[in-house]
Amino acid sequence: MKTLLIGVGQAGGKLTRELVDYDDRMEFGAVRGAVGVNTASADLRGLPFETVLVGQDRVNGQGVGGDNELGADVLESDAREVLSALEGRITAGTESIFVVAGLGGGTGSGGAPVLARELARIYDVPVYGIGILPGRDEGAMYQVNAGRSLKTFAREADALLLADNDAFRSVGESITEGFDAINREIAKRVGLLLAAGESVEGVAESVVDSSEIINTFRDGGIAALGYAAAEAAPDAEANINTVTSTARRAVLAGSSLPDATDADAALLIVAGDPDAIPRKGVERARQWIEEETGSLQVRGGDFPLSSDRLAAVVLLGGVERSERIQSFMERAAEARETDAAGESSTDPGAEWASDDLDDLV
């Protein structure tokens, strides 16, 4: 899927850089351009693509200090500057736009939904979001910001792919120590998803192309992305169990949003040497995903790669009913109750079902 990336805020810019690096390193050619957007000039330094500093008349390049309402206001006012930077970058060959942001900070959580809305208003290609949920120990402000931004971002984008920092945290490792590793894990998952269907070595028996990704995202809402890999045997028949077990690990242990398995749609991509990918294994894995998610819309196919390993990438669309989302909303509501400037909270499940959840835009 040929895409343009827009990293908003500090976390969004860093993850966008990692996505660009991964695509370049793997020579996939799926990422056709990137732009970084921020209110803090220091956070734009070192990004290897065009950057846009917004809100200079409001915060003088110093950032919004975690205030996502201010972040939303700044992007409302300066959206034209960002759109100007995109002129000529979104061409007839562009199949999607991804707005990337951390949901705990100020510029990303406030500005990303605004930017997604403006892009969808102008461009006739899907506009997706990649949102990073803060870990449990990242502080009350980050939980509150993410809780307020989550629903708004999911509504304004055609779909929001979530990555939970706690899903990638190693035992005994602090979130700060693990940020770079977390970004690499997210980039690997998203990079393989975007590369599916692009021009690579080998010929897939069952091609996965951009339309399969778009159709899996089509119902909107929240999406999750799983990944797992294992050593492959030279003979395809010997890899039947490998493919099925790897697909299960991708969903149950390697997801960007753990425990989110109740989905409206799913896409299974098996990457590896075409001669090592067993059709029976892919079909069995697809059937297992259908049973596990309760969805009748489960697509599957191959992604030919020169490798001695087999990888399973599983995209789940429409996972907002999952326990993980509800648990996070409860955490955000509790943080808001204890925050000095917080407001009284309603039931998190009811908040998600309602249109009255502290909309930022």
293 C-beta neighbours (distance < 10 Å), count: 23
- The third-level CATH classification (topology) of the domain covering 226-317 is 60s Ribosomal Protein L30; Chain: A; (3.30.1330)
Reported as half-sphere exposure (CB side, CA atoms, 13 A), residue 2 has a value of 12
Q: Which CATH architecture is the domain 3-195+322-353 placed in? A: 3-Layer(aba) Sandwich (3.40)
Per run of 10 residues, the mean pLDDT along the chain (length 361 residues) is 96 97 95 97 95 95 94 96 93 95 96 97 96 90 92 95 87 66 94 81 70 91 96 95 97 94 95 94 96 93 92 96 85 78 44 48 61
Contact status, residue 206 vs residue 282, Cβ threshold 8 Å: yes
Q: Residue ranges per domain, the chain?
A: 3-195+322-353, 226-317
**Alpha helix (H) residue ranges in the chain:** 9-26, 56-59, 68-85, 107-122, 140-156, 175-195, 210-217, 240-252, 279-293, 323-338, 348-353
